Amino acid sequence: MGRWSVVDRDERWRDVHLSLRTLHDVYVQDGHAYLAYWDAGTWILDVSDPADPAYVADIRERSVEDLLRLDGLRAARESSEPPGNDHYVAPDPAGNLLAVGKESRNSNFGKEGTTPGPDDPGGPSGVALYDISDPADPVHRATIDPPPTADPNVNGVWTTAHNFELAAGRLYSSWYRGGVKVHDVSDPANPVELRHFRRSATTSFWTAQAAVPGETVVATSHENPADPDDSGTVYAFPDAPLETPTPTATSTTAPASPASSPSEAGSPPTTTAPPSTSGPTERPGTTQGPPTPTATTGGDTAANGPGFGPLAVLAGLGLGAWRLVGDGESDDGHGEAE
């Protein structure tokens, strides 16, 4: 019926290395399509007429001129490292808030060394929140930073953002070996962490969703890093009740370097200052507050297989699904369930 690409907006994109302008994901809701275009940013289209998609806005941290300067090894390296790396994007049900997840790590293509330095900003990225009440003028409100990692490299311990869901004023997010988080984003400028489950040694989460907001969160771990022969696993654990009072947000400072140990996963989260972008209006908000501990206890049983929907998981809880409810102790000896 119709077709659209960034090249339709500006022919110069055709000469940008393909690894930097990969269309990784698309989310469609109420006549708008939200496109995660990797280093080319996030684009909003009006698709109310599918035969004639129309440009609405774009959210970018890098200009087409900057990306045109990158080729070969530099393009390969930059496609893995921030800024950019728009991997997954989704609006809230009302269409007023947009979350942009960025997947990145430290890359050493064509470089010496194994850790990020002052001129090498590699490492995990977070989830940026934008007010899109006016879709033509996205306004950056806050960025939820990723959990810390002792090894931010390509073959290290990934804690970058992956897939997520916005529901009931909350962000349900997955962070590979950084675990699963729930944030109250009813005030997008001041997101507050309500839940964090992390077991870096044995889980690597690809998505998190609210099965029943305020009651149950479902997440999938696509692998067990400690056992390559282990299959993926579905996890279900309790959400913070919707009536839970939201803690007052306080200012915090983002860490200057990766944490020295995954045991620091329980430290207070931070948000970064708004990025310098070429598309949306920038109106910074304050940073998020410290997490509210909410650990409870529960039993463990086993179930395997990625890809189950929330209803299937809930139906299976009584038949052996592994219900992890945050017992305060991780399987690598660190207290990482909050």
d(Cα 47, Cα 28) in Å, to the nearest integer? Answer: 8
Mean pLDDT value across residues 232-253: 68
Which residue shows structure tokens 């919707």? Answer: 242
Q: What is the pTM of this model?
A: 0.73
CB 239 within 8 A of CB 216: yes
Could you give phi then psi for residue 216, rounded to 5 degrees? -135, 135
How is residue 254 annotated by DSSP?
-
CB 127 within 8 A of CB 102: yes
Count other C-beta atoms under 10 Å from residue 330's C-beta.
Answer: 22
What spatial distance separates the first Cα and last Cα of the chain, rounded to whole Å?
48
Task: Give Cα separations from 247 to 30, 88, 266, 317 (angstroms).
Answer: 33, 28, 17, 31
Whether the predicted pLDDT of 109 surpasses 70: no
CA dihedral 147, 153, 140, 89 (to 10 degrees): -90
Q: What is the average pLDDT score of the chain?
A: 76
d(Cα 257, Cα 260) in Å, to the nearest integer? Answer: 9
Determine the length of the chain: 338
Q: Is the peptide bond before 280 cis (omega within 30 degrees of 0)?
A: no
CB 226 within 8 A of CB 201: yes
3-state secondary structure of 28: strand
Share of the chain residues as helix, strand and coil, in percent rounded to the nearest 5: 10, 30, 60
- 125 or 185: which carries more pLDDT confidence? 185
Strands laid side by side in the 54-59 sheet: 25-29, 32-36, 42-46, 54-59
What is the domain partition of the chain in residue ranges?
Answer: 6-319
- 276 or 59: which carries more pLDDT confidence? 59
d(Cα 60, Cα 236) in Å, to the nearest integer? Answer: 35
> Looking at domain 6-319, which of 2.40.50, 2.120.10, 1.10.357, 2.20.200 is its CATH number?
2.120.10
- 6 or 246: which carries more pLDDT confidence? 6
| Confidence band for 26, pLDDT divided at 50, 70 and 90 | very high
| Confidence band for 84, pLDDT divided at 50, 70 and 90 | confident
CB 258 within 8 A of CB 152: yes
d(Cα 43, Cα 45) in Å, to the nearest integer? Answer: 7
